[in-house]
Amino acid sequence: MTASSRVRYPVGVPHLPTAGILPPHILWAIVANGDAEQRAWALQALAVSERIRGRRELLGDIATAAAAAAPGKQRTVYDAKHGSQLPGAKARGEGDPPGKDVAVNEAYDGAGATYDLYHEVFGRDSIDDRGMPLLSTVHYRRGYDNAFWDGSQMVYGDGDGKIFGRFTKAVDVIGHELTHGVTQYEANLDYADQPGALNESVSDVFGSLVKPRTLGQTAGRADWLIGAGLFTPAIRGVALRSMAAPGTAYDDPLIGSDPQPADMAHYVETADDNGGVHINSGIPNRAFYLAAVAIGGFAWEKAGRVWYVTLRDRLRPTSDFKAAANLTIAVARELFGARGAAAKAVAAAWAEVGVL
């Protein structure tokens, strides 16, 4: 489907992620357990997320940014200089050599690695498949603990230095947030309940392919972590999420313990977080991990291709886990043979997590 043929949905049906890479359950844990300063910025981060949601509703869609599109990779990184005006001052354009600012260079390289995954593996030209420029802003606010896609560009905080460092450090976070843009153009999954958890999961799936691709790692060698390296050493945790073992990424007195379930028997029914979109995403995440590892080789070549075609052509805004399972199996059969090992691995993965 092309963007122009996309049906617009009524106001009030959430289609955009509202919290960024940092799930609200971590921010609320910091509000509950942090010192006065930490509570203050966690509350501020939650409030900023609300304002971003308002801004997104005003934007309506991302046609404004897409209007400037020409084919090919076009990255621009801006510096907000610790303010909140977007996009900020231009710091690096496409083809410019690296400068001294690590965050600028990481945002540039991460956008490039994500563009390359989509372009070289799936034949997609940027977020809208029409060369939409990839805009990023670094140094957003002071000590800001999040990274997000605002409907038209990427935004990164520097972290507070006590819990989180800078958010450009994890390339899978960049891939995750840019994939929210791809999802917006394709399946446009509702951002609530199971469709919302699928929306979060596909961002983790494509985000998780970026780093091993830059490192030349097979599915069996990849770490399958989202946000590895974001926590400071003071926090007991390895990442924000683990696709291989949901629920094991962190366990810390300040930020709480990873609430993700690994299968349907532990599905979390909650009204928080739009129905647990950052929580229950652990289930389809693990299905992708199990399929990719069972198929073997580079995860983007078969499992990634199956998930990409499913996201682009098959999923609908209200698709649930069972629909995603059946659609990925059908796509695996079409792409790699009705009795092929890929289709069998995908079916076994969804059975293992209890969706089928």
Residues that bind Zn ion (CB under 5 A): 17, 200, 203
- Residue closer to Zn ion by CB (options 131, 284) is 284
Our CB check for Zn ion shows the closer of 27 and 342 to be 27
Active site residue 176: no
- In the bound state, the residue with its beta carbon closest to Zn ion is 17
CB of 17 to Zn ion, least distance (A): 4
Residue (17 or 195) nearer to Zn ion, CB:
17
Active site residue 15: no
Instruction: Say which of 177, 180, 186, 200 is annotated catalytic.
Output: 177
Minimal distance, residue 20 CB to Zn ion, in Å:
7
CB of 237 to Zn ion, least distance (A): 18
CB of 353 to Zn ion, least distance (A): 20
- CB nearer Zn ion, residue 79 or residue 258: 258
Q: Kindly state the tokens that stand for 277.
A: 């979109």
Per-residue exposure over 313-334, b if at least 16 CB sit within 10 Å of its own CB, e if not: ebbeeebebebbbbbbbbbbbe
Q: How far is CA 93 from CA 75, 99, 104, in A?
A: 6, 11, 10
In the chain, DSSP assigns E strands to: 75-79, 89-93, 134-138, 147-149, 154-156, 225-226, 241-242, 251-252, 256-257
Specify whether the CB–CB gap between 177 and 21 falls below 8 A: yes
Neighbouring residues of 222: CB distance < 8 A, sequence distance ≥ 6? 208, 211, 212, 299
Under a CB-based contact definition with an 8 Å cutoff, are residues 135 and 78 in contact?
yes
Q: Compute CA distances 319 → 55, 64, 191, 199, 322, whole Å.
A: 26, 28, 11, 10, 8
Least spacing, CB of residue 309 vs Zn ion, in Å: 21
Where in the sequence numbering do the catalytic residues fall? 177, 278
